[in-house]
Amino acid sequence: MHRIDGLIDIFLQPGEFFVADAEYQMRTMLGSCVSITLWHPCARVGAMSHFLLPTRGVPDNRDGLDARYGDEAMELMVAELKQLGIAAGQCQGKVFGGGNMFPDHLSAGGLNVGQRNGEAALELLNRHGVPILSESLFGMGHRQIIFDVRNGDVWCHQVALNNAGDEHEGDLL
């Protein structure tokens, strides 16, 4: 944790989430993982996840929710926002990631993990009544994400996998 432009900068590792006020910005790097951002414009409070898989699937013996899984990361963010008096449906949602990091290796079902993650994130937002303002999902390569909680802006920089040097400029979403 350090300061950038007066903001406390938080870097999310895979399987982490964070809820913060306007003193923070959050960032992460995504491949097939997905990040959901939630932002409440009046309270200027935001939440961000970095999940690896849509759901845990087979229950294990661990207690509690695990932010490595999209459905559980969403529940964790919603619970923390609720403690602050904010309902998920009052937030604006944005979704990023789900890149195909191994285009030559599709699962037996034909969908790669990134696509499953992205589709799960969209469904989670819809299930919680969160309007989706923007998304940058799928494609090939990884993304760098920076979420400024002061104003709800999210910068997304996607870098393609091919050797041709295809690189997308950072987009404000």
Q: 45: helix, coil or strand?
A: strand
Q: What pLDDT, on the 0 to 100 scale, is given for residue 164? A: 46
Query: What are the extents of the domains in the chain?
Result: 2-55+64-150
Q: What pLDDT, on the 0 to 100 scale, is given for residue 110? A: 58
Q: What is the pTM of this model?
A: 0.87
Candidates 3.40.50.300, 3.30.1330.200, 3.40.50.800, 1.10.10.10; CATH matching 2-55+64-150: 3.30.1330.200
Average pLDDT for runs of 10 along the chain of length 173 = 82 98 96 96 97 84 86 97 97 95 61 90 97 93 94 91 50 59
Q: 162: helix, coil or strand?
A: coil
Give Dmax (Cα) for the chain.
Answer: 49
